[in-house]
């Protein structure tokens, strides 16, 4: 057996001869993150499981089984198990990695030349799961560390959760070659941005958190400037800055930052003095040591530089602008120089904003390098994965294989054999529906699950991610249905304006007619399923005149008025001010987002009543399975709807998983979730369908 095939088999741990079962699904691995050496010759990539087998502290990957792998022509091997966040040194001679053991994380550095390892104990994962370290130069790393303090009694939060006090947090400069360390500052830090010389670092410092972030919102962040000296400069004027906005000038003497209100600030690194830029400034970029600012146009030193529609990328001595179908190199004191033409088309979507920049225009993906030259590829060629200089690697939609843009075949993980068929169906107004069918050796017509997600509109090139054989979508994957003999129908569901329930009714009626005409579906054995707003649509469909014999609603919304300004478990125990951004997102989703109600409930209460499944529960004739987690913000909604059906004596079941939120993550919970789903479907629409081995 070839060595690379054996490696892939060991990485997946899944039999290739068996149809996919829930037990197999939670063992699936995928390629989740990567980084290329500066010379473009060596690829470090991560093979990970998205379904941890044990309870975990947060969603940062802790508890998942990650393997950091190394690939270059002639070599494909596991470099380190149970690790994450790989990062090359600037000279490409070493790779730093962080252990995933949250209780005793260790920063490790692997030296490529001699295959030697250096280890720093007590390294900490960055606050909120972010990067906990950064390279300052080829010899030094700035890393957050955490050491246990004096033993204290456990702390009880509202008599509901017992937790341990936080360890002592220290920011340390480490030389992995000599093993020496030097303390920079104490506190909880993340989002490190070193200046080009590696002498100063802008970072976000967080207030001490006395209980896990899973039960309250994050505290506001403070911008600090560090140089390893006794003085830590705090920039108080910039409130709760956005990490992605921290940008240094070429000489490292200045930086800019955008606060939580969208205002830009120019900051002197030595003193921390901050000057607010004019309110009309929407974006800015360093060109050398000068600051280009965008309002109506891009201006540099008060002179017009480029149209306001131009997008600037990079900064300092490497700036590229995209404008009016061209890529430009922008240098201080010079006129912008066109370096390449972009593919024709209206507008583009930025998929990656750092070099190499990746933009998408329709079905064309363009890679823009730091020098301003571009390379175009069809979307079918894959999605951006990792790149350096002119070397770029792409991953397939399933995240199981990597290929180079030069045609070089890269590493991959093997998946179970699957003969399931995904076909497109022409919908209304140029839209496309998708139908996932079991393998052809299973005779039809098939019992069918209609998978709903309001606001999701498909095209002939955009397949539903839940139909791909991958664990990247979490625990809910349609392949677990098709492998058991069910067809799965994905209708395009454009957002309805003002009356989402009636819009859903009309759209489903039309979709079911198209489905019946397809000929391979048993229209007498239909079920409906969805999660989140898809769970809302599932409950709504169960109250309407559709021929569904079973419904599965995960993290479902039943009462729109109650959910309009809902506080999640992460904000209920925080201050009211901390909760405002979340409340704003909730109201936006209802008024202008996926549901498109157009107005708040107090302006038209009956609008929310007639579009809420809870108030239509008397019409339900469909057996309903409700699945939720104890930390799910929609838990009360699921309980409310279940109670309404239970009081009427209608068939319903409520399944709640402890310490899970809207997405069920733990492997044993995912397996049980699918046993519940497949058992429910088999009971009401199945015909000798095997639920699990």
DSSP letters along 126-173, please?
PGGG---EEESSSS-EEEEEEE--S----EEETTTEEEPPPPEEEEEE
Q: Residues 402, 395: contact at Cβ < 8 Å?
A: yes
Q: Would you list the DSSP string of 208-232? A: PPSS-GGGSPPPPEEEEEE-SSS--
Question: What pLDDT, on the 0 to 100 scale, is given for residue 12?
Answer: 42
| Residue of 562, 487, 590, 474 whose CA lies nearest to 529 | 487
Question: What pLDDT, on the 0 to 100 scale, is given for residue 53?
Answer: 53
| Residue of 73, 86, 83 whose CA lies nearest to 44 | 86
Percent of residues in the chain assigned helix, strand, coil, to nearest 5 = 20, 35, 45
What would be the CATH architecture of the domain defined by 45-149+164-186?
Answer: Beta Barrel (2.40)
DSSP structure class, residue 420: -
45-149+164-186 and 421-560+616-684 in the same fold? no
Question: What pLDDT, on the 0 to 100 scale, is given for residue 690?
Answer: 42
Q: Hunting for tokens 């204290």 — which residue is that?
A: 152
Q: Give the whole-angstrom CA distance, residue 84 versus residue 264.
A: 33
Q: Let me know the angle formed at the C-alpha of 368 by 365 and 374, rounded to the nearest 5 degrees.
A: 80
Which class in CATH covers the domain with range 421-560+616-684?
A: alpha beta
Question: What pLDDT, on the 0 to 100 scale, is given for residue 389?
Answer: 77
Q: Using one digit for the tens of pLDDT, what is the confidence trace for 10-32?
A: 344 444 346 788 998 888 888 98
The pair of structure tokens assigned to 594 is: 């996926």
Positions of the chain with pLDDT lower than 70, given as ranges: 1-18, 50-64, 101-105, 128-129, 149-166, 208-219, 345-346, 565-596, 687-693
Question: What pLDDT, on the 0 to 100 scale, is given for residue 530?
Answer: 96
Q: Give the whole-angstrom CA distance, residue 682 versus residue 219.
A: 47
Mean pLDDT across the chain: 84
Cα dihedral sign for 321, 325, 327, 333? negative
Question: What pLDDT, on the 0 to 100 scale, is given for residue 591?
Answer: 63
Map out the domains of the chain as residue ranges.
45-149+164-186, 421-560+616-684
Question: What pLDDT, on the 0 to 100 scale, is given for residue 60?
Answer: 38
Question: What pLDDT, on the 0 to 100 scale, is given for residue 19?
Answer: 72
């Amino acid at each position: 057996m070839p060595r690379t095939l054996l490696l892939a088999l060991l990485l997946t741990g899944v039999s290739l001869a068996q149809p996919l079962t829930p037990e197999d699904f939670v063992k699936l691995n995928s390629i989740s993150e990567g980084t290329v050496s500066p010379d473009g010759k060596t690829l470090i990539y991560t093979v990970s499981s998205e379904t941890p087998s044990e309870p975990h502290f947060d969603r940062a990957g802790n508890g998942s089984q990650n393997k950091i792998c190394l690939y270059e022509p002639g070599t494909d091997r596991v470099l380190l198990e149970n690790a994450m966040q790989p990062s090359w040194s600037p000279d490409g001679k070493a790779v730093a990695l962080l252990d995933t053991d949250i209780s005793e994380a260790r920063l490790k550095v692997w030296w490529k030349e001699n295959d030697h390892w250096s280890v720093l104990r007590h390294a900490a994962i960055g606050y909120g799961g972010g990067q906990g370290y950064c390279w300052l130069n080829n010899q030094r790393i700035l890393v957050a560390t955490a050491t246990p303090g004096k033993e204290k009694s456990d702390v009880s939060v509202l008599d509901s959760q017992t937790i341990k006090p936080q360890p002592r947090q220290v920011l340390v400069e480490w030389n992995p070659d000599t093993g020496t360390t030097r303390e920079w500052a104490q506190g909880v830090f993340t989002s490190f941005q070193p200046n080009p010389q590696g002498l100063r670092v802008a970072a976000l410092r967080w207030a001490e958190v006395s209980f896990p972030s899973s039960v309250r919102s994050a505290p506001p962040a403070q911008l600090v400037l560090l140089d390893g000296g006794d003085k830590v400069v705090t920039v108080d004027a910039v409130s709760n800055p956005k990490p992605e906005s921290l940008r240094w000038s070429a000489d490292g003497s200045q930086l800019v930052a955008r606060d939580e209100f969208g205002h830009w600030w120019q900051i002197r690194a030595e003193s921390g003095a901050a000057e607010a830029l004019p309110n009309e400034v929407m974006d800015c970029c360093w060109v050398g040591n000068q600051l280009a600012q965008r309002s109506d146009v891009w201006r540099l030193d008060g002179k017009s530089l480029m149209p306001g529609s131009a997008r600037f990328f990079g900064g300092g001595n490497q700036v590229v602008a995209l404008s009016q179908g061209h890529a430009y190199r922008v240098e201080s004191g010079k006129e912008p120089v066109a370096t390449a033409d972009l593919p024709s088309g209206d507008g583009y979507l930025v998929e990656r904003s750092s070099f190499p920049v990746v933009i998408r225009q329709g079905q064309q993906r363009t890679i823009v390098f730091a020098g301003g030259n571009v390379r175009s590829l069809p979307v079918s060629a894959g999605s951006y994965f990792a790149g350096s200089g002119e070397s770029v690697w792409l991953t397939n939609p399933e995240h199981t294989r990597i290929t180079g843009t030069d045609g070089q075949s890269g590493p991959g993980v093997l998946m179970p054999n699957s003969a399931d068929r995904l076909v497109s169906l022409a919908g209304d107004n140029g839209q496309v529906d998708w139908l996932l069918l079991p393998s052809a050796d299973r005779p039809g017509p098939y019992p069918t699950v209609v998978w709903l997600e309001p606001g999701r509109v498909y095209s002939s090139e955009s397949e539903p991610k839940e139909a791909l054989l991958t664990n990247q979508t979490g625990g809910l994957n349609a392949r677990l249905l098709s492998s058991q003999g069910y067809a799965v129908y994905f209708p395009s569901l454009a957002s309805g304006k003002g009356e989402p329930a009636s819009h859903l009714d009309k759209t489903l009626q039309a979709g079911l007619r198209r489905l019946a005409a397809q000929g391979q579906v048993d229209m007498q054995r239909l079920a409906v399923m969805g999660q989140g707003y898809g769970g809302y649509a599932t409950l709504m469909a169960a109250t309407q005149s559709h021929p569904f014999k079973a419904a599965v609603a995960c993290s479902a919304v039943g009462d729109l008025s109650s959910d309009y300004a809902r506080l999640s478990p992460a904000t209920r125990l925080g201050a009211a001010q901390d909760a405002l951004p979340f409340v704003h997102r909730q109201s936006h989703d209802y008024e202008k987002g996926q549901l498109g109600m157009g107005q708040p409930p107090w302006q038209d209460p009956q609008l929310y009543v007639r579009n809420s499944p809870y108030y239509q529960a008397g019409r339900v004739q469909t057996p309903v399975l409700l699945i939720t987690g104890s930390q799910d913000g929609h838990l009360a909604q699921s309980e409310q709807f279940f109670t309404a059906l239970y009081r009427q004596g209608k068939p319903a079941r409520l399944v709640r998983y402890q310490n899970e939120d809207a997405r069920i993550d733990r492997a044993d919970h995912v397996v049980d979730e699918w046993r519940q789903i497949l058992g429910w479907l088999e009971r009401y629409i199945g015909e000798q369908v095997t639920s699990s081995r």
